[in-house]
């Protein structure tokens, strides 16, 4: 019996909600501004808008000049091979490297050489010592991990 009461209330609510409207639909009236209806249709009347416009313009002038961007200076970097040769014709190896020999040809010409490819070389100035002298520090990292 308890559930039948809920059923009847639900049916009554459904019946009243589904009835056709007897009153004609009216257009929604424009909402008044903060201080009542305004002529310009905005929240504030024209006098307040002119004052706000003056405030916004003064803020725009204040922040119009920006600090110039500093030049971006990247670290010196590049991709390299690590070459190690302890025995053999070291002078000829040095000349070949200075001439710009490709690593594969260098390995063929000097088979005892140890070559490590894909190194990222980064050089940056760092302040060292008590005198604050800047020295160039070079870091070698493998690109492949």
Q: Contact 34/52 with Cβ under 8 angstroms?
A: no
Say if residue 59's pLDDT is above 70: yes
Two structure tokens written together for 93: 């190896």
Confidence of residue 31 (pLDDT cuts 50, 70, 90): low
- Lowest-confidence segment of 25-39, 60-74, 87-101, 129-143 by average pLDDT: 25-39
Contacts of 112 (CB under 8 A, 6+ apart): 85, 86, 87, 88
Higher local confidence (pLDDT), 95 or 29 = 95
Is residue 97 over pLDDT 60?
yes
Mean pLDDT of 100-125: 86
Please tell me what DSSP assigns to residue 84: E
> For all residues of the chain together, what is the average pLDDT?
74
List the chain domain ranges: 76-142
Q: How many residues would you count in the chain? A: 145
What pLDDT sits at residue 117?
Answer: 84
Share of the chain above pLDDT 90, in %: 0
């Amino acid at each position: 019996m308890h559930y039948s009461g809920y059923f009847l209330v639900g049916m009554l609510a459904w019946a009243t909600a589904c009835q056709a409207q007897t009153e004609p639909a009216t257009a929604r009236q424009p909402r008044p501004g903060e201080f009542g209806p305004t002529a310009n249709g905005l929240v504030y009347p024209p006098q307040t808008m002119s004052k706000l416009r003056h405030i916004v313009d003064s803020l725009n002038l204040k922040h119009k000049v920006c600090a110039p961007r500093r030049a971006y200076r990247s670290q010196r970097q590049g991709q390299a091979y690590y070459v190690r040769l302890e025995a053999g014709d070291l002078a000829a190896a040095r000349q070949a490297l200075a001439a710009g020999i490709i690593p594969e040809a260098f390995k063929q010409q000097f088979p005892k050489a140890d070559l490590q490819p894909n190194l990222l070389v980064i050089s940056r100035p760092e302040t060292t010592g008590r005198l604050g002298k800047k020295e160039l520090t070079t870091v070698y990292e493998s690109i492949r991990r």
